[in-house]
């Protein structure tokens, strides 16, 4: 059975095609600048990488090009080989706590929830509608970024603000990166060989979130009503005092939109260093003696450690701390700095093992009270797996 995982952005479309008989990724690709001049795509398969500039005025055309190239490149022989399509859907509010077959009702709900994710849900809808037009008889599944975190209890997802904000407008913690946290939690279960466990999952990349997971269910997570709060990130501030917002608006004569843009796109690594949003560039800056890069890296690590410590208490211990996503899987220095600050919890780093990048690996000594692991995430496979399970 072949399943396509789709992640549609406002001007992009990413895909992965899986053979679910062995969970092999047959092909993957990225269609960029959709609806913008200079649109192009790249497709990887059989160790090759194909790139072509082609006009794609909308997502419908992008999907048509994708399906045409799958056939013309010999990746599949006909569209009949495609048994299902899984879509990454960013926001399901508190209605969707698991993946679902996409119906007209689901699409309408996505529209209703668009004010909760104005940059993402409308783009997700474009992807769904484009695939539906091209493959009208193929079942589609929606995999929500917020679903995994819907197991949080009310004391953790409610904010201490006027309660009617929640009842009227849905103001509460939702959490994001749920598909990644879900995938990694399933790997934790396999590694430990048991369903009853406590894990702290650190999805740290350009964006970042940490979750406390007990027996496969999310107890708490760092992102909130939006993906802005929690740990410091590449360009996002993470947690700040909200009083800063009106203060800066007055001082800088900025609108709320402008300040929120600063918090989302000009903060984090970029804000402190004033130069770099990528952790690798920050580390290079530290080596070159850049004091602001050192400050940014130290602050980043501290925000991660603070949440790990909090979740350790919430879970009343932890069997495993997991590092995943770009920095988590490849950031040797960040992992080392984090684990060194966790010595008080009995974490004993294996310095040689910690040099590993991008593969499952225990990076603590056997005597460590908490096992720390690198566990590469695979959101596309998680989407395909949920799609497979629902349509089979």
Active-site residue set: 145
Alpha-carbon gap, residue 151 to 225, rounded angstroms: 15
Q: What are phi and psi of 176, to 5 degrees?
A: -140, -175
Q: Is the four-CA dihedral 178, 179, 180, 182 of positive or negative sign?
A: positive
HEC letters along 267-336: CHHHHHHCCCCCHHHHHHHHHCCCHHHHHHHHHHHHHHHHHHHHHHHHHCCCCEEEEEHHHHHHCHHHHH
Instruction: Confirm if 151 and 217 have CB atoms less than 8 A apart.
Output: yes
Beta-bridge mates of residue 32? 12, 40
DSSP state of 259: H
Q: What contacts 390, CB < 8 A, 6 or more positions away? A: 99, 100, 101, 139, 141
How far, in Å, are 207, 238, 289, 292 from residue 285 at the CA level?
20, 22, 6, 8
Under 8 Å between Cβ of 43 and 26: no
Tokens encoding 236: 């996002």
341: Cβ contacts below 8 Å, ≥ 6 apart: 301, 302, 305
List the structure tokens of 13.
Answer: 């479309």
> To the nearest 5 percent, what fractions of the chain are helix, strand and coil?
45, 20, 35
Query: Euclidean distance between the first and final Cα of the chain, in Å?
Result: 9
Is beta strand 320-324 parallel, antiparallel or unpaired with respect to 371-374? parallel
Dihedral, 313, 202, 358, 181 alpha carbons, nearest 10 = 110
Task: Give, in order, the Cα–Cα distances in Å from 74 to each of 5, 65, 71.
Answer: 19, 14, 5
């Amino acid at each position: 059975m072949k399943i396509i995982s789709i992640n549609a952005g406002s001007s992009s479309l990413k895909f992965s095609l899986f053979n679910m008989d062995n969970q092999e990724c047959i092909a993957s690709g990225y269609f960029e600048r959709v609806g913008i001049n200079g649109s192009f795509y790249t497709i990887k398969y059989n160790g090759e990488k194909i790139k072509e500039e082609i006009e794609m005025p909308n997502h419908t055309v992008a999907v048509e090009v994708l399906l045409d190239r799958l056939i013309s490149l010999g990746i599949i022989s006909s569209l009949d080989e495609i048994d299902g399509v899984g879509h990454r859907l960013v926001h399901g509010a508190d209605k969707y706590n698991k993946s679902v077959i996409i119906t007209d009702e689901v699409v309408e709900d996505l529209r209703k929830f668009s004010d909760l994710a104005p940059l993402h849900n409308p783009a997700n809808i474009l992807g769904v509608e484009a695939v539906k037009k091209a493959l009208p008889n193929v079942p589609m599944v929606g995999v929500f970024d917020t679903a995994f975190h819907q197991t949080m209890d009310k004391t953790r997802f409610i904010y201490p603000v006027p309660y009617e904000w929640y009842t009227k407008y849905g103001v509460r913690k939702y959490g994001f990166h749920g598909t990644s946290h879900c995938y990694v939690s399933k790997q934790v279960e396999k590694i430990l060989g048991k369903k009853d466990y406590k894990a702290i999952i650190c999805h740290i990349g350009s964006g970042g979130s940490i979750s406390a997971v007990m027996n496969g269910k999310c107890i708490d997570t760092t992102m909130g009503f939006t993906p802005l709060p929690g740990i410091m990130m590449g360009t996002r501030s993470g947690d700040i005092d909200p009083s800063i917002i009106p203060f800066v608006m007055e001082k800088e004569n900025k609108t709320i939109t402008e300040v929120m843009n600063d918090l989302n796109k000009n903060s984090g690594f970029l804000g402190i260093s004033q130069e770099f949003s990528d952790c690798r560039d920050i580390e290079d800056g530290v080596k070159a003696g850049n004091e602001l890069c050192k400050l940014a890296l130290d602050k980043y690590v501290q925000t991660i450690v603070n949440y790990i410590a909090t979740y350790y208490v919430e879970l009343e211990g932890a069997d495993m701390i997991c590092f995943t996503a770009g920095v988590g899987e490849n950031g040797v220095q960040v992992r080392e700095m984090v684990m060194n600050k966790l010595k008080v919890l009995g974490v004993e780093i294996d310095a040689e093992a910690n040099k590993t990048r991008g593969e499952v690996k225990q990076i603590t000594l056997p005597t460590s009270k908490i096992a720390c692991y690198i566990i590469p995430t695979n959101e596309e496979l998680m989407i395909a797996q949920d799609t497979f399970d629902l349509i089979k």
